[in-house]
Structure 1
Amino acid sequence: MNLWTIDFKYYSQIERLKRFFVTVLNHFSILAAASLLAILIYEFGFLHPNDRLDSVSTYYEFGLLYFVVIYCISLYKAFVSRRQDRFLRLTSLFKLGIVFFAFIGSVFFSVGDHHKLFLTIIGHHYFLNLTIVFLFLVEVGRASFNLFAKQANPAMLFIGSFTLLVSIGTGLLLLPNSTTHGISLVNALFTSTSAVCVTGLVVVDTATAFTPVGKMIILLLIQLGGLGVMTFTTFFGLFYRTESTFRSQMMIKEILNLDRVGGIFSALLKILLVTIIVEFIGALFIFQSISKVTAVGDFTDKVAFSVFHSISAFCNAGFSTLTDGLYTGFLRQNYTLQFWIMALIVLGGLGFPIIFSYFTLIRHFIGNKIRQFFGKQKRYMHMPRIINMNARIVVFTTMGLILIGAIMFFLLERNNTLVGEGILGKITGSFFGSITPRTAGFNTVDMSRLMPSTILITILLMWIGASPGSTGGGIKTTTFALSLLNVVNLATGRKLFVVGRREIPYDSVQRAFAVVFLSIIAIGLGSFFVIVFQPKLNYLSVLFECTSAFSTVGLSVGMTSQLTVASKIVIILLMLIGRVGLLSLVFSFLGNLHQGDSYRLPSESIYIN
């Protein structure tokens, strides 16, 4: 036998062993991260004596020590690798630094109280908790890349991520420390689904039924569900750039609705940064608007109220820590607070692509003005096409619906739910009544007293919903606009679908009509089953509730508390279907079965109308 053959076989066995070892290590890492998270849940979710806490700290130390070793190896491999991947080196160093400081802090905490200065610097237990969540997200993100590499169905992964998060949320809300007096399985599932799908429908009072731990869980579910679970897992998964293939990047682009394959990490980073900045600024303005309202509570209560409602508004969730929400007496005429809530709802409903486009346009405009001011440019020479047709349709449709909805609400409710309000109150209430059906779920009027005509207008606004790429639901503004424009296009006899000197592809129109048709079917079937299970309910109220659930709005005319277990299951399914999208649901089961026609057949007209 040739010596080269022996060496090659030996080399192949070594490589096979290395791959096996790496596979085992990867599986053990995600198991270790999940174990640390389970211990964290045990610590916060149950009541236990102090001696149990000592053993919990020991588990933390061993788990963190394992990841310190693993990330040291990862950092060493990143620096000795021939690939000059600066990003991989920085992320490896970043991961090691976080885990190392958490490990040192955990060790010092278990030793005694004579290292208070160090514990203060690293934030003590809060830093440890965040580190454990970070580790879990990083490992889950890496696992998601493995699924991408195995050619998993992107739509199925998207739906599965929401289903998994709902299941985890249900389990967390069932923990003893999450509720004040316990909660049933169905109600926990309903609340978790409503939070993950950023709906806002509630079957128990959020203010009184949940402890601060429970409210924190709901807030975390809202944030994860609003931005999308895959957004977080993909972002943290990109810390393992070496496992990212071109196919995985294409699947990420498809799942997250990104414009291009390149710059996925920067796009995700922008989404997370914009979310944090907008929610932080929103919390500041909300805090300023309630700073003199003593009924909210002390400083800590006001901060918690501001953060919770800022996240809930931007994610279009509609959850509130007050029993009556913004309809509470001491907030009902706080128009400044209502204005900031409306601003957050609109920003969250526009979608990140639109926010990025207008931010780029404003930055370009300011840059030109600065260059003109310093004499580096004589006049404004060029306007790049930053705002595309999609952005124009979204903005014009959104503004039109808000204005028309506000006018209709004012005309119909000025002598009903808006009675007793001044002109400023009626205008603010009208705009709030027009904006909140766009999948937000807050209310400043008694929804059970709305006129039947107002209810129908609200159902229409809820059905349309927010915009693509946003935190809201509904059929989306672009779908509604394309369907309406197509009717005009047919009436004028145009062969091509042209909007603003741009031709819209026919497959976009087909998708729009498919979404419209499927949404009507889903809402209709949901209303049918609820009426079958509870025939004594008001039909208009049932239609309102099912539309609110499907469009992930959260508004209710007082019917949610009357639902039976069977009806709650129907509403839960509507919320999930509305959040993941009907087309995603269809694609997940059918897949891309039809790859396109390479032939044409004789055409034949079908009589319509």
Structure 2
Amino acid sequence: MKIIGNIHRHLRRTYNRMRLSWHTQMRQRQSAIRSLLRILDIATFFGALGFMVCFVLYIGYEHSPSQLQTLYSTMHSLRWLFALNITFRLAINFRQTIAETRIVKWIVDTGILVSVAIPLLHTNIAASWPALANVLSGQWLNIGILLAYSIVDISYAVMRIMNRRTNPPLMMSGSFLVFIIIGSVLLTLPKATYNGLQYTDALFVSTSAVCITGLTTVDIPATFTPFGQGVLALLIQIGGLGVLTFTSFFAIFFSGNTSIYSQLLVKDMISSKSVNALMPTLLYIFMFTIVVELTGALAVWWTTHDYLTHMSPGQQISFSLFHSLSAFCNAGFCTLPGGMSNPALLNSNQSVYLVTSIIVLAGGIGFPVLVNIRDAFSEYIHRMFNRVRHRKTYGRQIHLYNLNTKLSLYATIILFLLSTIAFFIFERQNSMNGMSTYTQVCQSVFNATCPRSSGFQSISPVLFSPATFLIVLLLMWIGGASQSTAGGIKVNTLSASLLTLRATILGKNKVTAYNRTISTGSIRRANAIVTLSLLALFVYTTALLLLEPGLPPKAVIFETVSALFTVGSSLGITDQLSDISKITLCSAMFLGRVGIISLLIGITGNQTNPPIDFPTDNVIIN
């Protein structure tokens, strides 16, 4: 026993000396290790981008056996690069790597390491478990693991960029631009279309999808294959939620190692109350989106499956999912020939139009409003629980709903009711002549809801009376609520401007609503948005009228309003536009989605006030 004890002590001293020597060498070479880690991070990032290119080539083209073998070899090499990065980080600092990495990231990393080890152990596994060996060596499993790792690594890169205190408006604008370009390339893939697509049209459709507009120069069901429609749906979903919100969710979900600055940046984007509530708020937004879209898809299928008899059950499900997603994101794309004016839907029981209107309103209400409603509901439950338990509630909130929520909800309800009544009155003897009263009511609800951003059309605006046409233009200009999937200047902006007008008329020096004073910054921003929107509308309308002298001015004006405020309605001239006009409308849709005021702030930067105060003087305004 004494000999065994001596051996144990000797081994322990040897291990401690080796460990001390290892850590000493690591400290001495810390600078070199950091440089090597930085090089590996950069190589892995470009490797992830390279894999995404290989993946696009793999799914988008038909390949010969030799081409497939080249793609497999390239992806296998990238897998070794990813495995090297993971292994090196574990070897350098195992404890820190474990502490900073979340379980989902560990699953992805483990998948990479296992996928590297499988070819080495394949013979032994195949001898004992042939079925398991076939599954593990399957190309789609390996590609799925590589795809997951690449998405995670690219999300990390986005978060690292956010950590560098970059310009948030420019970063948001740049992210939209990147996805627009990526989407345009994906939509030109041979497997995405039936008969090919010009790049200008692909760019236009991609911009319309990412900017959740709905304008298109091509017939969606006749042009795009199921794969192409899937790409379109993904672009709509990313554009609806917001590119940075989308990627930030992945980055924060997969890793807790994010800077305070990046967390504050995401917090402002989603209007979270605190950094601690950041991840729950992101999860709530994503879960709400998924639940509404899936519930909406079920409702769409339930209201249409008896009427879309020319479709197979799989096609009906695909249509329902795509339509619900497009409605919630206020995109306005439809995979049915003729869109929502398809005779099969017009001759139905009209329930699909009511369901679509509800989904559109849910998407256009705004994520900050949804978060506030969730918090208010939680407070109600808490108070009820305390009442049942006969407990006193301390420090409870007096105002459960903030001013932004009240203004958004009341403005939305008022606009919805007024526009529905106006449409029914002006169109029941015009474009809806001959329909039953119930059908006219349903169509009034639908056609009064959709112009505020979704762009679905069941009745062509060409048939509208002049009064209805002006009302539709006004609704397109207003749009939905702030930080929602809707476009327009937003109902919050309109409310602030009207309240400012009321205060000016009444001679008040403060703008108030619901026992709250609206901040000067909010008022100035609202007035700036209204002014810039009208200036941009004038510039783009003039440009389109000069570029398209052969098209009806009324149709050109309508098209410009639809693009700039990301609505998607049209009088049928989109496919007649020249390439330069399409590019012009692409820029209009882009500005409408990212926000003109945000883009200008990003370009000019926040200018500080001069250290001196200038004398105050009046400007004569009457």
For each residue in 1:261-291, what CA deviation from the matched residue of structure 2 results, as whole angstroms up to 9, or x when unmatched?
4433332222222212221111111121222
- 1:29 counterpart = 2:44: yes
Q: 1:304 to 1:101 in 2, by over 3 A?
A: farther
Structure 2 residue aligned with 1:164? 178
Identity within the alignment, % = 30
| Superposed displacement of residue 29, structure 1 | 1.1
Q: Please tell me the residue identity of whatever aligns with 1:350.
A: I
User: Alpha carbon RMSD of aligned pairs, Å?
Assistant: 3.2
Which whole-Å CA distance do the structure 2 matches of 1:276 and 1:18 have between them?
Answer: 43
Structure 2 residue aligned with 1:3? none
| Superposed displacement of residue 414, structure 1 | 0.7
SS of residue paired to 1:331: helix
Q: 1:426 to 1:550 in 2, by over 3 A?
A: same
Structure 2 residue aligned with 1:96? 109
Q: 1:554 to 1:503 in 2, by over 3 A?
A: same
Structure 1 residue aligned with 2:165? 151
Q: Please tell me the residue identity of whatever aligns with 2:48.
A: A
- 1:347 counterpart = 2:362: yes
For each residue in 1:331-361, what CA deviation from the matched residue of structure 2 results, as whole angstroms up to 9, or x when unmatched?
1234221122111111110111211222332
| Superposed displacement of residue 72, structure 1 | 5.4
Q: Please tell me the residue identity of whatever aligns with 1:342.
A: S
Q: Please tell me the residue identity of whatever aligns with 1:537.
A: L
Structure 2 residue aligned with 1:191? 205
Structure 1 residue aligned with 2:62? 47
Structure 2 residue aligned with 1:521? 535
Structure 2 residue aligned with 1:317? 331
TM-score by length of 2: 0.88
Contact (CA 8 Å) 1:137, 1:232: kept in 2 or not?
Answer: no
| Superposed displacement of residue 538, structure 1 | 2.3
For each residue in 1:527-574, what CA deviation from the matched residue of structure 2 results, as whole angstroms up to 9, or x when unmatched?
101100112322222221111111111011112122111211211110
Which whole-Å CA distance do the structure 2 matches of 1:287 and 1:197 have between them?
Answer: 26
Structure 1 residue aligned with 2:353? 338
SS of residue paired to 2:309: helix
Aligned counterpart in structure 2 of residue 589 of structure 1, from 592, 596, 603: 603
Q: 1:482 to 1:117 in 2, by over 3 A?
A: farther
Aligned counterpart in structure 2 of residue 464 of structure 1, from 468, 474, 478: 478
Aligned counterpart in structure 2 of residue 205 of structure 1, from 219, 229, 239: 219
Contact (CA 8 Å) 1:409, 1:454: kept in 2 or not?
Answer: yes
Q: Please tell me the residue identity of whatever aligns with 2:618.
A: S
Contact (CA 8 Å) 2:214, 2:569: kept in 1 or not?
Answer: yes
Q: 1:377 to 1:473 in 2, by over 3 A?
A: same
Structure 1 residue aligned with 2:594? 580
Gaps of 5+ in 2: 1-22
Which structure 2 residues correspond to residues 169-184 of structure 1 after superposition, within 5 A?
169-184=183-198
| Superposed displacement of residue 448, structure 1 | 2.1
Contact (CA 8 Å) 1:398, 1:477: kept in 2 or not?
Answer: yes
| Superposed displacement of residue 138, structure 1 | 1.9
Aligned counterpart in structure 1 of residue 417 of structure 2, from 383, 390, 403: 403
Rg larger for = 2
SS of residue paired to 1:295: coil
Aligned counterpart in structure 1 of residue 439 of structure 2, from 387, 407, 425: 425
- 1:543 counterpart = 2:557: yes
SS of residue paired to 2:155: helix
| Superposed displacement of residue 184, structure 1 | 1.1
SS of residue paired to 2:109: helix
Which whole-Å CA distance do the structure 1 matches of 2:118 and 2:335 have between them?
Answer: 33
Would you say how many aligned residue pairs link Structure 1 and Structure 2? 597
| Superposed displacement of residue 145, structure 1 | 2.8
Which whole-Å CA distance do the structure 1 matches of 2:80 and 2:349 have between them?
Answer: 51
| Superposed displacement of residue 599, structure 1 | 3.5
SS of residue paired to 1:437: helix
Aligned counterpart in structure 1 of residue 242 of structure 2, from 212, 222, 228: 228
Which whole-Å CA distance do the structure 2 matches of 1:30 and 1:325 have between them?
Answer: 41
Which whole-Å CA distance do the structure 2 matches of 1:576 and 1:449 have between them?
Answer: 29
Q: 1:129 to 1:479 in 2, by over 3 A?
A: farther
Q: Please tell me the residue identity of whatever aligns with 1:605.
A: N
Which whole-Å CA distance do the structure 2 matches of 1:217 and 1:534 have between them?
Answer: 31
For each residue in 1:364-396, what CA deviation from the matched residue of structure 2 results, as whole angstroms up to 9, or x when unmatched?
334544665xx4238999665331010000000
Contact (CA 8 Å) 1:348, 1:470: kept in 2 or not?
Answer: yes
- 1:359 counterpart = 2:374: yes
| Superposed displacement of residue 322, structure 1 | 1.3
| Superposed displacement of residue 496, structure 1 | 1.2
Contact (CA 8 Å) 1:155, 1:255: kept in 2 or not?
Answer: no
Structure 1 residue aligned with 2:621? 608
Which structure 2 residues correspond to residues 366-385 of structure 1 after superposition, within 5 A?
366=381, 368-369=383-384, 375-377=388-390, 384-385=398-399
Structure 2 residue aligned with 1:5? none
- 1:263 counterpart = 2:300: no
- 1:17 counterpart = 2:29: no
| Superposed displacement of residue 179, structure 1 | 1.2
| Further displaced range: 282-291 or 401-410 | 282-291
Which whole-Å CA distance do the structure 2 matches of 1:320 and 1:103 have between them?
Answer: 43
Which whole-Å CA distance do the structure 2 matches of 1:120 and 1:361 have between them?
Answer: 52
| Further displaced range: 377-386 or 56-65 | 377-386
Structure 1 residue aligned with 2:523? 509
Q: 1:451 to 1:494 in 2, by over 3 A?
A: same
| Superposed displacement of residue 68, structure 1 | 4.5
Structure 1 residue aligned with 2:5? none
For each residue in 1:499-553, what CA deviation from the matched residue of structure 2 results, as whole angstroms up to 9, or x when unmatched?
1111111111000000001011111111101100112322222221111111111
TM-score by length of 1: 0.90
| Further displaced range: 542-551 or 511-520 | 542-551
Q: 1:340 to 1:366 in 2, by over 3 A?
A: farther
Aligned counterpart in structure 1 of residue 261 of structure 2, from 247, 260, 265: 247
Which whole-Å CA distance do the structure 2 matches of 1:450 and 1:123 have between them?
Answer: 61
| Further displaced range: 116-125 or 462-471 | 116-125
Q: Please tell me the residue identity of whatever aligns with 1:603.
A: T
- 1:436 counterpart = 2:436: no
| Superposed displacement of residue 191, structure 1 | 0.6
Which whole-Å CA distance do the structure 2 matches of 1:289 and 1:334 have between them?
Answer: 8
Contact (CA 8 Å) 1:551, 1:578: kept in 2 or not?
Answer: yes
For each residue in 1:164-185, what CA deviation from the matched residue of structure 2 results, as whole angstroms up to 9, or x when unmatched?
1111111111112211111112
| Further displaced range: 18-27 or 227-236 | 227-236
Contact (CA 8 Å) 1:106, 1:128: kept in 2 or not?
Answer: no
| Superposed displacement of residue 60, structure 1 | 3.7
| Superposed displacement of residue 19, structure 1 | 1.4
| Superposed displacement of residue 216, structure 1 | 1.1
Q: 1:242 to 1:434 in 2, by over 3 A?
A: closer
Q: Please tell me the residue identity of whatever aligns with 2:615.
A: P
Which whole-Å CA distance do the structure 1 matches of 2:437 and 2:140 have between them?
Answer: 47
Which whole-Å CA distance do the structure 2 matches of 1:359 and 1:222 have between them?
Answer: 25
Contact (CA 8 Å) 1:108, 1:115: kept in 2 or not?
Answer: no
Which whole-Å CA distance do the structure 1 matches of 2:419 and 2:111 have between them?
Answer: 49
